[in-house]
Amino acid sequence: MLATYPIKINSTAIPFPTGWSVAPKRLANNYETEAGTRQVVVLRNARTTFSGSWTVSSRWLKKFLEFRALESFTLSVYDVTTSAYADHTVSITDDSFSYELIEGSKRVKNTEGLYRVSFDMEDF
Amino acid sequence: MYPVSAAYKLAITDPTFEYIVTGTIGNQAFDESSIVNGTFRISNQCTDSSDFNLGSVYTATLEATFRGIAIPRQEWIGKTINFGVSLKLRNGTYENIPFQPFVIREAKHSAEGVSVVAYDYMIKLDKKFKKGHFQFEGGWWGFVDEIENDTGIVVGMTDEEIEALPNGDEAVELVGSNGKLKDFATDIETYRDLVSWMAQTLGSFATINRSGELIFVPFKDENSNVDTISEEHRIAGAVFDDFVTNYNGIYVTNTATGDETYYGYDIPTLEAELTAAQATRTSLLNQLDQLEAQWQAHEITEEQYKAQKKLLKKQISNIEKRIKWLQKALSTATSEEGNYLDIGENPFVQENSTPATVQTLRVGILNALNNISYTPFTCETVFGIHYDLGDIIRFEGGHAGEDGASCCLMAFNWTLNGTYQMQGFGSDPGVPMIKTKTQKSTKAANQNAVTAMNNSGGDAGMQYSVRISENMQMVDYTVVS
């Protein structure tokens, strides 16, 4: 599905990730009743955290660094429930962004070096 | 209780709840995504928080912190918040529960957002009462018209609804024949004071309904519960008192003399009325049997049969209600336990009209209190916004006991996505609410005087009002009815 529906940030298709995970989290207030059962007020069914890692050229690293500086951006990902793109307004979470130079990649042509980039994005 | 669908009632029995908010502040729309989590709170009450009382006029408060609403600084105060809260039903749709409009009175800007405090239209009554300006003839509707004209508040009751309240069909006036406000009414400072005395005389409390209109709500019979909440729907921590609050007397302060008059139920009157009501019921039931026989014998047409049966059934139902009421009054009157309510210097029940009207109004207030038989409580649930103040709710199981408890919703404090805290207040009738030793003696002396009169054969079957001197001696008594 990633081949047909590449991940997009602000409508720009980004390179295929080498690792990709999605973690929806339910936000709720839990209460225990007099009978010992549980009652839950659901604030939001899924606040999702997306984690990805990529191996990219320095040109794409620059783009990712630009996204990181944004207060928020639109992340479009394939939604298996609707078989279509779903848009999420997200930001890159603090301290999650890191990148490292891949050893020996400086000689790879037209790349100015290859980098391993990883970061998390969270729904607003 | 706001009328909700069967699907809504089903949804509140589920373990999970999902709410959304839709509304406007001025002309700016907002929803739950504009509200900082845990800050949206509404509270209101219909009696004092310390004890039950009649004639409360409380303003509902909405507190919330908003983010991302495009209202410029210094333009928040005075804006109206209109909104409804919707609960998700099992089929995925939402059912909306409307709330009355709130007007923003305070707004503070902080890192969190804009924190506002808003009040419902009851604040319109915080206006100086125009003395000597109340010129009209007759009953309560005249007051209602004047209040609407002077404050801009809308009264959301029809003439018939007001007439159906305790004392609702009595004539009252505050202006003497010389066109001036009577002396005893000069203490009324604001329209809120006026509405409070009105509500007390009408055996009710005043509140703002979901349409933003002023209404008077009488306290209902403890068996007229709108809902039953069992232990699995109550959040742990509910507290129910071990007594049921009831009243078997009232004190009225006579402004002219400064003394107090006690009104209690007269047992022979109640007994006589109960016997008469039971006889009427028997007679009505016989008539119903006769009607059935006539119908079986084809002596009457189907139309006649149906019409007469409907009429008889209605009469039977009314007399049965009356019998229940009398039985309850009798049980309160014969019980050694019972509170009295001090209604103070209510100007409507002073010498405003013929003395007979004054007595009728005072006894009317006492009779309205007969409905009160509530267990004081504190309880939290995760639902409840469809309840209204004054609703009777039955709690069963758990700390409410096997027999359950009938409670009156007298105060609530609701937080969006949090809990709905309900409270009912009242005092233990076994421990009379004595403020001073003098009052205690007065009450005892009054009761003794009434008992003495009854025992001496006095005017059996009548209700008395007794005046007591400063040294606790009976000065005189008046036959009330």
Q: What is the pLDDT of residue B184?
A: 59
Q: What distance in Å separates the CA atoms of residue B230 and residue B271, rounded to the nearest whole number?
A: 37
Torsion sign over Cα A48, A54, A59, A61: positive
User: Per-residue pLDDT averaged across B459-474, rounded?
Assistant: 56
Q: Both B360 and B321 in a single domain?
A: no
Among B331, B347, B376, the domain boundary falls at: B331
Contact check, Cβ <8 Å, A33/B19: no
Q: Both B337 and B323 in a single domain?
A: no
Contacts of A34 in chain B (CB under 8 A): 231-232, 234-238, 397-399
Three-class SS string for B246-303?
Answer: CEEEEEEECCCCCCEEEEECCHHHHHHHHHHHHHHHHHHHHHHHHHHHHHHCCCCCHH
Query: Would B358 be classed as within a structural domain?
Result: yes
Per-residue pLDDT band for B436 (boundaries 50, 70, 90) equals very low
Q: What is the pLDDT of residue B346?
A: 87
CA distance B19 to chain A (A): 7
Residue B39: name the closest of B448, B373, B417 by CA: B417
Q: Which of residues B25 and B457 earns the better pLDDT score?
A: B25
- What does residue B262 show for φ and ψ, rounded to 5 degrees? -100, 135
Q: What distance in Å separates the CA atoms of residue B19 and residue A42, rounded to the nearest whole number?
A: 8
Using CA atoms, how far residue B373 sits from B137, B220, B405, in Å, is: 36, 9, 10
Q: Both B373 and B433 in a single domain?
A: yes
ipTM here: 0.71
Q: What is the pLDDT of residue B451?
A: 59
Q: Both B289 and B381 in a single domain?
A: no
User: Per-residue pLDDT averaged across B10-37, rounded?
Assistant: 94
pLDDT in tens, B118-148: 999 999 999 988 766 565 556 788 888 888 9
Query: Would B419 be classed as within a structural domain?
Result: yes
Query: Would B278 be classed as within a structural domain?
Result: yes
Matching residue, tokens 């690792």: A19
Q: How many CA atoms lie within 13 A of B290 on its CB side?
A: 8
Among B331, B354, B383, the domain boundary falls at: B331
CA distance B68 to chain A (A): 13
Which amino acid, one-letter code, is at B374?
Y
Contact check, Cβ <8 Å, B230/A35: yes
The domain tally of chain B equals 2
Q: What distance in Å separates the CA atoms of residue B448 and residue B280, rounded to the nearest whole number?
A: 34
Which among B34, B87, B234 is the top mutation candidate for probing chain A, defined by the most A β-carbons within 10 Å of its own β-carbon?
B234
Is the CB of B362 inside 8 Å of chain A's CB atoms?
Answer: no
- The pair of structure tokens assigned to B409 is 């919703």
Rg (CA), chain A: 18
- The pair of structure tokens assigned to B98 is 């409307």
Contact check, Cβ <8 Å, A33/B417: no
Q: What is the pLDDT of residue B469?
A: 60
- For the beta sheet containing B464-468, the strands, ordered from the edge strand earlier in sequence to the opposite edge, are B339-342, B247-253, B260-264, B464-468, B474-479
**pLDDT beyond 80 at B309:** yes
Which amino acid, one-letter code, is at B216?
F
Torsion sign over Cα B226, B231, B232, B238: positive
Q: Both B323 and B471 in a single domain?
A: no
Calculate what percentage of chain B has a pLDDT beyond 70. 84
User: Per-residue pLDDT averaged across B66-79, rounded?
Assistant: 94
Contact check, Cβ <8 Å, A33/B231: yes
Query: Containing domain of residue B414, as a range?
Result: 219-265+332-481
- Nearest-by-Cβ selection for A31 from B231, B382, B397: B382
Contact check, Cβ <8 Å, A34/B236: yes
- For the beta sheet containing B227-230, the strands, ordered from the edge strand earlier in sequence to the opposite edge, are B227-230, B392-396, B405-408
Rounded (5°) CA angle A29-A35-A39: 20
CA-based nearest residue in chain A for residue B21: A43
**pLDDT beyond 50 at B435:** no
Q: What is the pLDDT of residue B234?
A: 95
CA-based nearest residue in chain A for residue B36: A43
Q: Both B478 and B404 in a single domain?
A: yes
**pLDDT beyond 80 at B112:** yes
Query: Would B58 be classed as within a structural domain?
Result: no
**pLDDT beyond 70 at B468:** no
Query: Would B316 be classed as within a structural domain?
Result: yes
- The pair of structure tokens assigned to A21 is 């995970």
Per-residue pLDDT band for B470 (boundaries 50, 70, 90) equals low
Q: What is the pLDDT of residue B138?
A: 63
- Nearest-by-Cβ selection for B232 from A33, A40, A42: A33
Q: What distance in Å separates the CA atoms of residue B201 and residue B205, rounded to the nearest whole number?
A: 10
Q: What is the pLDDT of residue B437?
A: 41
Q: What distance in Å separates the CA atoms of residue B173 and residue B361, rounded to the nearest whole number?
A: 12
Helix, coil or strand: residue B74: coil
Q: Both B259 and B279 in a single domain?
A: no
Calculate what percentage of chain B has a pLDDT beyond 90. 62
Query: Would B50 be classed as within a structural domain?
Result: no
Which among B37, B40, B232, B395 is the top mutation candidate for probing chain A, defined by the most A β-carbons within 10 Å of its own β-carbon?
B232
CA distance B381 to chain A (A): 8
- The pair of structure tokens assigned to B357 is 């009207």
Q: What is the pTM of this model?
A: 0.81
Q: What is the pLDDT of residue B329?
A: 85
User: What is the number of CB-based contacts under 8 A between chain A and chain B?
Assistant: 57
Length, in residues, of chain B: 481
**pLDDT beyond 70 at B318:** yes
pLDDT in tens, A55-97: 999 999 999 999 999 999 999 999 988 999 999 999 999 899 9
- The pair of structure tokens assigned to B390 is 């004054």
B195 touches B189 (CB < 8 A): no
Among B308, B331, B354, the domain boundary falls at: B331
Using CA atoms, how far residue B186 sits from B95, B137, B139, B211, B260, in Å, is: 48, 19, 20, 32, 19
Query: Would B436 be classed as within a structural domain?
Result: yes
User: For A51, which DSSP code?
Assistant: E
Contact check, Cβ <8 Å, B397/A35: yes
Q: Both B362 and B443 in a single domain?
A: yes
pLDDT in tens, B246-301: 888 899 988 878 888 888 888 888 899 999 999 999 999 999 999 999 999 989 99
Q: Both B299 and B354 in a single domain?
A: no
Contact check, Cβ <8 Å, A42/B397: no
Q: Both B420 and B401 in a single domain?
A: yes
The rounded mean pLDDT for chain B is 87
**pLDDT beyond 80 at A47:** yes
Helix, coil or strand: residue B225: coil
DSSP letters, B407-473, are EE--EEEEETTS-EEEEE----TTS---SSHHHHHHHHHHHHHHHHHHHTTTTTT--EEEEE-TTS-
Q: What is the pLDDT of residue B460?
A: 45
Q: Both B238 and B315 in a single domain?
A: no
Q: Both B273 and B412 in a single domain?
A: no
Helix, coil or strand: residue B167: coil
Is the CB of B94 inside 8 Å of chain A's CB atoms?
Answer: no
Sorted by sequence, the CB contacts under 8 Å of residue B324 that are 6+ apart come out as none
User: Per-residue pLDDT averaged across B423-429, rounded?
Assistant: 91
Query: Would B115 be classed as within a structural domain?
Result: no
Which helix (H) or strand (E) segment holds residue B54: the answer is none
B264 touches B246 (CB < 8 A): no
pLDDT in tens, B174-213: 766 666 666 656 678 899 998 999 999 999 999 999 999 9
